[in-house]
Amino acid sequence: MSDNVIVLAGGLSHERDVSLRSGRRVAQALRDTGHTVLEADVNASLIDTIASVDDPVVFPVLHGGAGEDGALRSVFDLLGVPYVGSTGPASRIAFDKAVATPVVAVRAAGFRTPRQSSLPHDMFRELGAANLIAALGDQIGFPMMVKPARSGSALGCAKVAGASELPAAIVAAFSYGEIAIVEEFIEGVEVAVSVIDLGDGPRALPAVEIQPRSGVYDYTARYTAGETRFVTPADLPADQADRCAELALAAHGALGLRDLSRTDMIVCDGEPVFLEVNVAPGMTDTSLLPLAIEASDASFADVCSALVTVARRRATGTGTA
């Protein structure tokens, strides 16, 4: 059986830099475990590149844009190329916070999701921004979070304390995409729970508790080593830690995800509240999924390798995944 893997990183999204760093780390991990790795970017030669490799598995490590919204994964399905991670349709739902949150609210019954409203920019233009902004304040309340519906790494996100700040925050979110979401701000312990499925069913890795030095887990806090303290497993009572794991598994299942995902949540009054799920979790030196793997006394390289094996078996019909 071929050991060829194409690690796909970069792309044209705002998170290109993070993706390139994630990709290099995954590629090294796969080389360390004996795979033959080709690192590729998303460009006009990609399909030729894939065609030039004998029996490859694609490991997409693309954050944002076409890499995470399912578009490229649908192309891999079209080409019959096996790949690590969720399908195109599932990724499309999970990547869009305006869709994923309601889906989790309905399908993962028993777990809390934030009050949320999602609005495209032309809605404000056509109906008048002032009325909608007033309604958002009334329905969601302050403080609130404003985010682009389809973005990651906290880019374009802002905590809004009062009505006067809301228009500028929404405009900033629209700089990243055409739909902004406004949701209630959840105060509590910030936690990320990764789920991996190495062929024997999805299981939750220990929760990573996130304590940014600045108090805000923004882009700088995410990608500057030393700016954030990570506690793994999170310093939570056992019952709360169990609920976090259950929420991550429930979200993973509700959205029809496979292989790997990471669910971000806030533990508020002892109960986890869903924030978002990532189908292409960060794999950088400061990312949460690798931390969770290492805290499990497992090897990041072994997990990456196992994910490739799962994808290959799925394609050849020799596995259970």
Partner 1 sequence: MSSLEPSRRDTRLDPYIDQYADRTGSMTVSAVRALFAVANRPEVVSLAGGMPNIADLPLADLGASFDDLVRTHGVQAMQYGSGQGELFMREKIVEVMAEEAIAANADDVVITCGSQQALDLVTRIFIDPGDVILAEAPSYVGAMGTFNAYQAQIHHVEMDDQGLVPEALRQAIVSLRAAGRAVKFLYTIPNFNNPTGITQPLERRREVLAVCQELGLVVVEDNPYGLLTIEGEPIDAMRSMDDQVIYLGSFSKTFAPGFRVGWVLAPHAVRERLTIAQEAAVLSPPVFSQFAITNYLENFDWRGQIDSFRGMYQARRDAMLEGLAAHMPPGTTWTTPNGGFFVWVTLPEGLDSQALLPRAVNERVAYVPGTAFYADGFGSRNMRLSYCFPTAERIYEGTRRLGKAIADELEMHATFGLGPDVARHTRNIGPAPDIS
Nearer to partner 1, 113 or 232 (CB): 232
**Contact flag: residue 18 with partner 1 (CB under 8 A):** yes
DSSP state of 48: H
Structure tokens at 173: 């979110």
CA distance 196 to 208: 15
Out of 5, 6, 16, 25, which residue is the one contacting partner 1 (CB under 8 A)? Answer: 16
In this chain, which of 28, 49, 117, 296 binds partner 1, going by CB under 8 A?
Answer: 296
Report in angstroms how near the CB of residue 99 gets to partner 1 at its nearest. Answer: 21
299 binds partner 1 (CB under 8 A): yes
Q: Is the peptide bond before 143 cis (omega within 30 degrees of 0)?
A: yes
Distance CA 1, CA 69 (A): 30
Q: Does 134 bind partner 1 (CB under 8 A)?
A: no
**227 is a contact residue toward partner 1 (CB under 8 A):** yes
In the numeric block, the tokens 């969770």 are attached to 292
User: Of the two residues 18 and 103, which places its CB atom closer to partner 1 in the complex?
Assistant: 18
* Choice from 46, 133, 268, 315 touching partner 1 (CB under 8 A): 133
80: tokens are 């019959």
Considering only the stretches 136-144, 231-239, 259-267, 269-277, report the one whose residues sit in contact with partner 1 under the rule CB under 8 A: 231-239
Nearer to partner 1, 213 or 316 (CB): 213
The token pair at 48 is 């030729």
Q: In terms of CB distance, is 122 or 269 closer to partner 1?
A: 122
* DSSP label of 110: T
Q: What angle do CA 35, 94, 223 make, to 5 degrees?
A: 60
| Beta carbons of 291 and 230 less than 8 angstroms apart | yes
**Interaction pattern, residues 105-124, with partner 1; x per rule: CB under 8 A:** ----------------x--x
In the complex, the smallest distance separating the C-beta of residue 220 from partner 1, rounded to whole angstroms, is: 5
Contact of 3 with 34, CB cutoff 8 Å = yes
Q: Is 291 in the site for partner 1 (CB under 8 A)?
A: yes
- Distance between CA atoms of residues 64 and 280, nearest Å: 9
The answer to whether residue 226 forms part of the interface with partner 1 (CB under 8 A) is yes
Q: Rounded to an integer, what distance in angstroms lies between the CA atom of residue 88 and that of residue 71? A: 6
Task: Pick between residue 86 and residue 228 the one whose CB is nearest to partner 1.
Answer: 228
As measured in angstroms, the least distance from the Cβ of 195 to partner 1 is 11
| Residue 153 to residues 19, 165, 220, 256, 314, Cα–Cα distance (Å) | 11, 22, 9, 23, 30
- Confirm if 260 and 307 have CB atoms less than 8 A apart: yes
Torsion of CA 15, 101, 259, 5, to 10 degrees: -20
- State which amino acid sits at residue 278: N
Q: Within 145-174, which residues bind partner 1 (CB under 8 A)?
A: 153, 155-156, 158-160, 164-165, 167-172, 174
**Where does this chain bind partner 1 (CB under 8 A)?**
12-18, 20, 121, 124-125, 129-130, 133, 153, 155-156, 158-160, 164-165, 167-172, 174-177, 198, 203, 205-206, 213-214, 216, 218-220, 222-233, 285-286, 291, 294-299, 302-303, 306
